[in-house]
């Protein structure tokens, strides 16, 4: 199956999340240095009305590409907790509230588990990356990493729910990991590897 290639030049990252932007800048450094965020361009944040990570990623990518006139990349990702029926899932950012307080969001997860008499649960992160073009087409890829939750949160690296997530095969949280180690195996890294192989020139 052939995929549409990134034409070069400016790449707009459809995010207003500074932590996510830092990760993506590091990942894309070998492929383009003309990377700018939707926040930096003052683009509005579209309402995430999709019911899946892929639908929301494509919605954001199309919106940024249409308004900016440049190829745009959108990421939709979140934490899915097995014992909570997959929540917070696509609502992961919204659980942090309007102030993006992920300490509150992690507390909500812990409270939900305690209500079920649990201290932890299997969980996984999903990341959908969508490369959107000004004509409305998209190339989208999804990555996943499984693990377990730990409380209280540990580590100050990363962002979001990273301090409570321990990936399979490790005893440290994403919040404790060296960023390079996380980038090598995270859900975002797995989606990114598919995207690069399909749409970018090495």
Query: Catalytic site residues?
Result: 76
Q: What are phi and psi of 60, to 5 degrees?
A: -70, -40
Cross-strand bridge partners of residue 144: 126
Cross-strand bridge partners of residue 143: 127
Coil, strand or helix: which one is 182? helix
Task: Assess whether the previous peptide bond of 169 is cis (omega < 30° from 0).
Answer: no
Q: Are strands 72-81 and 11-13 parallel, antiparallel or unpaired?
A: parallel
Q: What distance in Å separates the CA atoms of residue 85 and residue 202, rounded to the nearest whole number?
A: 39
């Amino acid at each position: 199956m052939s995929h549409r290639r990134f034409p070069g030049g400016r790449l707009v990252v459809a995010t207003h999340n500074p932590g996510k932007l830092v990760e993506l800048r590091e990942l894309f450094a070998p492929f383009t240095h003309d990377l700018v965020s939707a926040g930096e361009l003052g683009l509005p944040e579209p309402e995430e009305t999709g019911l899946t990570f892929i639908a929301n990623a494509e919605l954001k990518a199309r919106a940024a590409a249409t308004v900016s006139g440049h190829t745009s990349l959108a990421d939709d990702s979140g934490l899915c907790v097995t014992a909570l029926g997959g929540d917070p899932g696509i609502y992961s950012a919204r659980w942090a509230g309007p102030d993006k307080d992920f300490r509150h969001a992690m507390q909500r997860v812990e409270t939900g588990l305690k209500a079920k008499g649990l201290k932890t649960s299997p969980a996984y992160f999903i990341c959908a990356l969508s490369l959107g073009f000004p004509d409305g087409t998209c190339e989208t890829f999804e990555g996943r990493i499984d693990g377990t939750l730990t409380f209280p949160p540990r580590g100050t690296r990363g962002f979001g729910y990273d301090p409570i997530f321990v990936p399979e095969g490790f005893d440290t949280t994403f919040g404790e990991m060296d960023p390079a180690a996380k980038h090598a195996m995270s859900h975002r890294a797995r989606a990114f590897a598919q995207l690069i192989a399909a749409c970018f020139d090495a």
